[in-house]
Amino acid sequence: MMKTLKASILTASVIASFSAMADWQPYKTVSLDGYNNTVPGGNLYYETNVASGVYRFRIDSASVGIDYATGQAGNKNSKSAALRTYDRTTTADKTASVSYYGLNNDGLQSSSLIHAFSQGGGFDLYLEDWQRADDSGSVNVIIEKWQN
């Protein structure tokens, strides 16, 4: 009976210690340029081969921010970005899922988005403005992966 109790306590403590180590680990930080990564006209930042797992995307509050009208009043220090995810599939008809999200930091609180790639996939990060010629600055998107 005592051996069973000791084994149970040991097992519980090992499981608890492993779950205590689970946390978000840095995957990468992507810097989006206010001119070069703005569509239409600019280029998306994209990754086409993301391993399966759970990822968190969020705006870095220390980012400079985007000025969407350089030299004009207003529209300064915008800390937002667009995110498109593509989930791969192994079904016979090759059906895939595409989702669009917005990431924002309003100066008070930064939103984050958690997305699970069950079979791997890809993502795009970009900015949007119909007149990018007067855009400047940058915004950083922090990407983390959940590790057990």
Per-residue pLDDT of the chain (148 residues; tens, 9 = 90+): 556 555 556 555 555 455 567 999 999 999 999 999 999 999 999 999 999 999 999 999 999 999 988 888 776 789 999 999 999 877 777 778 899 999 998 766 778 999 999 999 999 999 999 899 999 999 999 999 999 9
Q: Give yes or no for a contact between 136 and 67, defined as CB atoms under 8 angstroms apart.
A: yes
- E strand or H helix at 17, and its extent? helix 2-21
Domains and CATH numbers, the chain: 22-147 (2.60.120)
Contacts for 17 with CB less than 8 Å, ≥ 6 apart:
none
